[in-house]
A and B are shown apart, each in its own frame.
Chain A
Amino acid sequence: MPQSSPLQPVAITGMGVIGAFGRGVTELDRALSEGREGVGPLTLWESTIQGFPVGQYRGDLQRDLDAIAGLTPRIRARLSRSDALALVAANEAVMMSGLEPSQGGAYVGQSVCGTLTTEELYVEARRRAKAREPEKINLSGAFVHEGANTLDRLAETWGLRGPTLSFMTACSSAANAIGLAADAIRAGRCHSMIAGGSDSLSRIAFNGFCSLKVVSPDGPRPFDRDRQGMMVGEGAGMLVLESLEHARARGAKILALLTGYGHSCDAHHLTAPHPEGKGAIAAMREALAMAGLQPGDIGYINAHGTATLDNDRTEARAISAVFGEGNVPVSSTKRFFGHTLAAAGGVEAVVAVHALQQKKLPPNLGLRAPLEDSRLDLVTGTRETPALRHVLSNSFGFGGNNAALVFTEAI
C-alpha cells in the first residue's frame, strides 16, 4: 500500500556549501543578495572547446582543507577535487550543527567523483603509449575514481560508524541521498547523517554536455524565452540531518525540517525528460503527500531550471500541473553557480533552507523574458516573504530520474 500519511520530519541542524560563488553559507548569501553571477572561464585544464563559461570554484581548496580538524595528511593525500569539495562543505555543516557525528553515517550523491584525476591519467597513458615512450605512467592514483572514495574519506575524517553510501542518479543524486538519509534516520538505522552531494568539473562532463549541444555560450538563463542552455559547474552542498528527538535532546539549533521526499523515474528516454513532466509531477506530489501538505502550502520552489530547452519547458509544465499557473514563486539559482550536476540537489537544498530561514527568495538570475508558454511566478529580484513556511526543491537527472524535497520552517 502506498505511503499516504505524513511521516515524522527530520531535523536539519547544519549545512555547508561551496561552489562558483565561493565557500560557505555566508558567501552564498552575499552572492544571492547581490545578484552576483558565477559565470566564468574554465581554468582547471586547457580545453580546446572555447567560448563556454563554467561555474568553477575559484578559491584555494588546499587552504580550505586546512580548516578541517580531523583531516590527517594520510587522508589528505587521497583526495580527488570532488572529495575535497565534499569535505569542505561537510566540515561547515558539522561545525554549524555542533554535532559529534561519529555515531552517524553519510549518504552522498555523486556522478563525476574522481574522474578529473583518472581521465588525466588515461589521457597521459594513451599519449605515452602512442609516442612509444618507454616510461609507464603511475596509475596508482586511479583509486580515487570511485564515488566510495568520498565516503571513505568522510568516514575517516569524522570517524563515522554508521552507513556510508554513494548514490549515483546523475543530477538528482544529492536530492536522493538527502531523502534516503532521512529515511534511514526514520527507520532507526542511526540518529544522524551527513547528507548531500559533491561533484567537480571534469573533461568528461564538460566535453559531454558540449557534445549534446546543451551548453550556453553566455551562461544559463533559466526559464528565459531565449535561453541557450546550461553552464557546467562544480561544488558541494551538505546537510547534517538528525532525528528530532536526538537534536532536541542535545539542545541543537534546528535550522529547518526535512518533511517531504518524492522520487520517480520517467522511463521515457536516456537524456530527455518526459515532455509532459510526468515523472517530475509524480516526485513533487509524493514529496507533498509525505509532508502532509497541499500545493497551496508551498511558498517557494527552487527549480531544477538548468536553462536547457527541454528541462525548463517540461519543468514549467510540471510545476503548473501540480501547483496551478502562477500560484507559487519559482526561481532557478543556477546562474549563481552553474549546474553542479550530482551536487545540485545538495547545493540547492542549502539555498532552499537559507531562503526559509531568511524569509527571502533568491532571484532567477539571468532572466530577460520569461518563456512563452508558461505562467510561472518567476522571482526576478530578491523577494521578502515573511509568511514563508514550506519550500520545495526539484532535482532531475539523466535517465528521467526525478527527486523533490520539501523543507519546513523549524518552530
Chain B
Amino acid sequence: MGVVVTGIGVVSALGANPAAFRRALLDGTNACAMHEFARFDGSVVRAPAYMAVPAEPEGLIEPRKLRRMFRLARMSAVAARQALKHAELDPAAMDSSRLGICFGTSFGAMEPTQKFMDSWIENGEASASPLQFMNSVHGILASQIALDINATGVNLTTAQRDICFEAALDTAVGLLEAHRADVILVGGADELTPMLHEFGSHTGQLVLDEVAGLDPWGSRRGVVPGDGAGVFVLERDDSPRRALARVSATRIGRCDTGGANIATELMQSSTPDLLTSNRDGGSRCARLNDKQEAELGLKGVSHRGNFGTWPAAGAVQFAANVLMLNNGEFYVPLASGKPAELKADAPKTILHNAPSISGNHAAYLLALR
C-alpha cells in the first residue's frame, strides 16, 4: 500500500474550512443546535441537528459556476477546492485525464430531487423541471467537481449507506494502486433536507426532543442528524507533495454476523494507537460497535457528538483523523455536549472501524507518513 493524503477540505457544522474545523475540535465546540424543518403539511417542527455552516466559496470557485450548484454541491465543490489548495495542487497544471474523483454519498442530491418531484406534483407531470432533474442524479456531486476543475479521469460515486465514504476511499486506493489515476479527490457528502428529516422522524430514526447533543456511547433509538462534506487529495506515495498521512490499508466486506474480522485483519499488520469508529449513539449501531470493540480489545472514539451523524459522516471523521495524526493532537470527543471522559495521547496510527447496521463493514488504517 502506498497511498498518501496530501490535502484536506471540510465543510461541516464545526466550520467552513479545515482550520475552523480543527479549532472547533481543539476547543470542544458543540455544534448541536435547534433547527426548524418544514413538514409536508406546511407546519414546522423544531428539532436538534448539526447543520453544516454555509460553504465559503470566495476565492475558490467562480460565482457563475456557483449559480448552478445547490447546497450540497456547493459544500462538496468548496471542500474539493480547499483540498486542492491545501495540497498546493493546481489541476490546470496537470494532465486532466490522470485526475479523478471518487465520491461517497448515500442520499445524493435530495434537495433537487424533492424540488423535481414538487415541480410535477404542483404543476403537472408535463411541467416537470428539467434543471432539477439534471441535478437530481446521484453522481452530480462528482460531476460538478469535475466540471469545476476539469478532471477528465475516473469519476465514480458510491452509495453504501453508513460506509459510503469508506467505500469511496477503498475504491480510490484501488484505482491509484492500479495506476488508473495519479491524483484522486476522494470525498463524502450528504445533506439533511426537510424531506429526509420528515422521513427519518416518521421511522423513529431521529431524536426530536431538545437535547444537548449526540452521545456516541449512548444507546437510544434515534440519533441527532447532521450534514457536511469532506474531500481529500489522495496520491501514491511517490508524489512530490508533502504527505499529511498515509493510508496503510483499507478493507470492505460484510459483517452480518457482527464479527470484527475486517478490522482484526488490519490489526495484524499494524497495532493502532487509537481506534476511531462510526458510533452515533443509535441503539443498533451501538450494539454492533460494543460487540466489535470487545473483540478488538479497544475502545472506539467517535467525534459524531461534535459534528453530528449522517451516512457520509465518515468523511468528516477522516478529516479529524488526518488532522490528529498530522498535528500530533488528540481531540477529546463530546458526548451529549460535554467532553467524554476519555484521554489519549496524540496517535501515530489510527484504525477506523465502521460496521454498518445494513451488514456492510469497512475499516482503514491511517498512519503518519
Q: Are A and B genuine complex partners?
A: yes
Residues of A within 8 A of B (CB): 1-3, 47-49, 105, 110-111, 113, 119, 122-123, 125-126, 128-130, 132, 136, 138-140, 142-143, 146-148, 151-152, 155-156, 160-170, 176, 180, 183-184, 186-187, 189, 203-204, 207-213, 263-271, 278-279, 282, 397-401
**Chain B residues near A399 (CB-CB < 8 A):** 137, 139-140, 142-143, 146, 155
**0/1 string, B91-128, CB within 8 A of A gives 1:** 00000111011000011100001101110110011101
Please choose the segment from B5-13, B74-82, B159-167, B325-333 that sits at the chain A interface, where 4 or more of its residues have CB less than 8 A away: B159-167
19 A-B pairs with CB atoms under 8 Å apart are A3-B179, A130-B41, A140-B202, A146-B159, A148-B106, A148-B161, A156-B359, A168-B157, A180-B156, A183-B175, A203-B117, A207-B133, A208-B128, A210-B128, A212-B134, A270-B68, A398-B143, A399-B139, A401-B139
Question: Is B152's CB under 8 angstroms from A282's CB?
Answer: yes
- The CA-CA distance from A128 to B41 in the complex, in Å, is 8
Q: Closest approach, in angstroms, between the C-beta of A93 and any C-beta of chain B?
A: 19
**Chain A residues near B170 (CB-CB < 8 A):** 163
Q: Closest approach, in angstroms, between the C-beta of B196 and any C-beta of chain A?
A: 9
Assess whether B89 is interfacial by the CB under 8 Å rule: no
**Chain B residues near A130 (CB-CB < 8 A):** 41
Question: Is B137's CB under 8 angstroms from A147's CB?
Answer: no
Q: Closest approach, in angstroms, between the C-beta of A122 and any C-beta of chain B?
A: 6
Question: Is A162's CB under 8 angstroms from B254's CB?
Answer: yes
Q: Tell me the nearest residue of chain B to A3, going by C-beta.
A: B179
Question: Is A271's CB under 8 angstroms from B158's CB?
Answer: no
Question: Is B136's CB under 8 angstroms from A2's CB?
Answer: no
Question: Is B253's CB under 8 angstroms from A400's CB?
Answer: no
**Chain B residues near A211 (CB-CB < 8 A):** 128-130, 133
**Chain A residues near B177 (CB-CB < 8 A):** 187
Question: Is B203's CB under 8 angstroms from A165's CB?
Answer: no
**Chain A residues near B252 (CB-CB < 8 A):** 163-165
Assess whether B150 is interfacial by the CB under 8 Å rule: yes
7 further interface pairs, Cβ-Cβ under 8 Å (given A128-B40, A265-B100): A113-B159, A164-B254, A165-B160, A168-B108, A168-B139, A208-B116, A400-B146
- The CA-CA distance from A265 to B143 in the complex, in Å, is 8
Assess whether B42 is interfacial by the CB under 8 Å rule: yes
Question: Is B134's CB under 8 angstroms from A398's CB?
Answer: yes
Question: Is B161's CB under 8 angstroms from A267's CB?
Answer: no
**Chain B residues near A110 (CB-CB < 8 A):** 159
Question: Is B159's CB under 8 angstroms from A155's CB?
Answer: no
Q: Closest approach, in angstroms, between the C-beta of B366 and any C-beta of chain A?
A: 19
- The CA-CA distance from A263 to B256 in the complex, in Å, is 32
Question: Is A207's CB under 8 angstroms from B128's CB?
Answer: yes
The 5 A-B residue pairs with the shortest CB-CB distance in the complex, in nearest-first order: A399-B143, A208-B133, A129-B41, A265-B155, A168-B138
- The CA-CA distance from A221 to B142 in the complex, in Å, is 31
Q: Tell me the nearest residue of chain B to A2, going by C-beta.
A: B179
**Chain A residues near B147 (CB-CB < 8 A):** 267-270
- The CA-CA distance from A180 to B68 in the complex, in Å, is 31
Q: Closest approach, in angstroms, between the C-beta of A405 and any C-beta of chain B?
A: 14
**Chain B residues near A138 (CB-CB < 8 A):** 202
- The CA-CA distance from A166 to B162 in the complex, in Å, is 13
- The CA-CA distance from A167 to B117 in the complex, in Å, is 23
Given A140-B202, A398-B143, check contact A263 B154 (CB 8 Å).
Answer: yes
- The CA-CA distance from A47 to B114 in the complex, in Å, is 19
Residues of B within 8 A of A (CB): 39-42, 68, 96-98, 100-101, 106-108, 113-114, 116-118, 120-121, 124-126, 128-130, 133-140, 142-144, 146-147, 149-161, 164, 167, 170-171, 174-175, 177-180, 195, 198-199, 202-203, 252-254, 256, 358-360
Q: Closest approach, in angstroms, between the C-beta of A337 and any C-beta of chain B?
A: 21
- The CA-CA distance from A143 to B136 in the complex, in Å, is 18
Please pick, from B116, B164, B180, the residue contacting A263 in the complex, using a CB distance under 8 A.
B180
Given A122-B117, A155-B254, A265-B152, check contact A184 B174 (CB 8 Å).
Answer: yes
Which of B108, B135, B177 has the most CB atoms of chain A within a 10 A radius of its CB? B108
**Chain A residues near B100 (CB-CB < 8 A):** 265
**Chain B residues near A143 (CB-CB < 8 A):** 203
Given A162-B254, A204-B136, check contact A266 B152 (CB 8 Å).
Answer: yes
Q: Closest approach, in angstroms, between the C-beta of B258 and any C-beta of chain A?
A: 13
**Chain A residues near B195 (CB-CB < 8 A):** 122
**Chain B residues near A122 (CB-CB < 8 A):** 114, 117, 195
- The CA-CA distance from A279 to B137 in the complex, in Å, is 19
Question: Is B116's CB under 8 angstroms from A204's CB?
Answer: yes
Question: Is B152's CB under 8 angstroms from A111's CB?
Answer: no
**Chain B residues near A263 (CB-CB < 8 A):** 154-156, 180
Question: Is B152's CB under 8 angstroms from A267's CB?
Answer: yes
Q: Closest approach, in angstroms, between the C-beta of B60 and any C-beta of chain A?
A: 17
Question: Is B42's CB under 8 angstroms from A129's CB?
Answer: yes
Given A132-B41, A151-B160, A401-B143, check contact A126 B121 (CB 8 Å).
Answer: yes
- The CA-CA distance from A166 to B151 in the complex, in Å, is 22
- The CA-CA distance from A129 to B119 in the complex, in Å, is 17
- The CA-CA distance from A273 to B46 in the complex, in Å, is 44
Given A139-B199, A187-B177, check contact A161 B254 (CB 8 Å).
Answer: yes
Q: Closest approach, in angstroms, between the C-beta of A135 and any C-beta of chain B?
A: 12
- The CA-CA distance from A3 to B174 in the complex, in Å, is 13
Given A204-B133, A263-B154, check contact A152 B199 (CB 8 Å).
Answer: no
**Chain A residues near B159 (CB-CB < 8 A):** 110, 113, 146-148, 166-168
Q: Closest approach, in angstroms, between the C-beta of A166 and any C-beta of chain B?
A: 5
- The CA-CA distance from A189 to B175 in the complex, in Å, is 13
- The CA-CA distance from A69 to B163 in the complex, in Å, is 29
Question: Is A398's CB under 8 angstroms from B179's CB?
Answer: no
Question: Is B97's CB under 8 angstroms from A264's CB?
Answer: yes
Q: Tell me the nearest residue of chain A to B311, going by C-beta.
A: A146
**Chain B residues near A267 (CB-CB < 8 A):** 96, 146-147, 149-152
- The CA-CA distance from A212 to B151 in the complex, in Å, is 26
**Chain B residues near A123 (CB-CB < 8 A):** 117, 121
Given A168-B158, A264-B97, check contact A400 B143 (CB 8 Å).
Answer: yes
Given A3-B179, A267-B96, A401-B143, check contact A169 B133 (CB 8 Å).
Answer: no
**Chain B residues near A155 (CB-CB < 8 A):** 254, 256, 359-360
**Chain B residues near A125 (CB-CB < 8 A):** 40, 198
Question: Is B160's CB under 8 angstroms from A148's CB?
Answer: yes
Q: Tell me the nearest residue of chain B to A119, going by C-beta.
A: B117
Q: Tell me the nearest residue of chain B to A268, going by C-beta.
A: B147
**Chain B residues near A271 (CB-CB < 8 A):** 134
Q: Tell me the nearest residue of chain B to A47, going by C-beta.
A: B125
- The CA-CA distance from A105 to B174 in the complex, in Å, is 15
- The CA-CA distance from A162 to B108 in the complex, in Å, is 25
- The CA-CA distance from A48 to B120 in the complex, in Å, is 10
Please pick, from A49, A146, A203, A270, the residue contacting B140 in the complex, using a CB distance under 8 A.
A270
Q: Closest approach, in angstroms, between the C-beta of B99 and any C-beta of chain A?
A: 9
- The CA-CA distance from A128 to B202 in the complex, in Å, is 15
Please pick, from B98, B116, B254, the residue contacting A160 in the complex, using a CB distance under 8 A.
B254
- The CA-CA distance from A85 to B150 in the complex, in Å, is 36
